[in-house]
Amino acid sequence: MKKLMLSFLFCSSVATVMAQKAKVSSAEENLGKKDYDKAKADIEAALQHDKTKDDAKTFYVKGKIYEALATQNKSLADALTAYDAYKTAIEKNPKMPDMLMEINGRMFNVYATVGNAGYGNLNSQQWDSAFVNFQKAQEISTFYNSKNMAGNIPTDTSMVFYTGYAAQQAGKKTKHSHS
């Protein structure tokens, strides 16, 4: 009787883990179907569960969902959410095989979306926002390039220049002193 009870407990805990991993898989399937609302609901459920909330794959799939939304809608907020999720996935498991195959292009998409938001701010003379977004884009590039993964994000010298220009226009003090 004791063995039967233990095996039942073991099976139910395996089933719970499988159900949560299924949430991650179903989030990925819904992403493939471009059903972003369902994908977001599935990944949020997986992020709430003890068995999948610390798994790199969960964060990687979350990043893919928000990257797709950011790219489709040119959404800064979604790009920043994707970046945070990718950053967490990389920090948890930088050698996750499916991530290694495609992370360079994905991080570049996030970087480009944030950088483009900066250029949009620049064009509408929103200097503070331009400065913040350019700095965030450079942070994304610096973080990713420091991880020595497949490929890197090249330095955009225009963005470096416009970061300084936006800072000057926003009245930000530079880090250099002229004493």
* Overall average pLDDT of the 106-116 stretch: 97
Side chain identity at 55, as an amino acid letter? Answer: D
- Is residue 15, in this structure, part of any structural domain at all? no
- Is residue 163, in this structure, part of any structural domain at all? yes
Q: Which of 66, 61, 63 is nearest to 36 (CA)?
A: 66
pLDDT at 20 over 70: no
Q: Which of 63, 2, 64, 51 is nearest to 23 (CA)?
A: 51
- Is residue 13, in this structure, part of any structural domain at all? no
**Mean pLDDT for the chain overall:** 88
- Is residue 120, in this structure, part of any structural domain at all? yes
Percentage with pLDDT > 90 across the chain: 77
pLDDT at residue number 19: 53
Question: Residue holding tokens 């898989």?
Answer: 25
SS3 49: coil
- Is residue 99, in this structure, part of any structural domain at all? yes
Q: What angle do CA 37, 41, 46 make, to 5 degrees?
A: 150
- Is residue 7, in this structure, part of any structural domain at all? no
- Is residue 22, in this structure, part of any structural domain at all? no
CATH number at residue 151: 1.25.40
Q: 63 Cβ partners below 8 Å, 6+ apart?
A: 82, 83, 85, 86, 89, 106, 110
- Is residue 116, in this structure, part of any structural domain at all? yes
| CA atoms of 81 and 63, how far apart (whole Å) | 7
Q: Assign 63 a pLDDT band (cuts: 50, 70, 90).
A: very high
> Domain span at residue 117?
31-169
Task: Count the domains in the chain.
Answer: 1
SS (H, E, C) 92-116: HCCCCHHHHHHHHHHHHHHHHHHHH
List, in sequence order, every beta strand (DSSP E) within the chain.
Answer: none
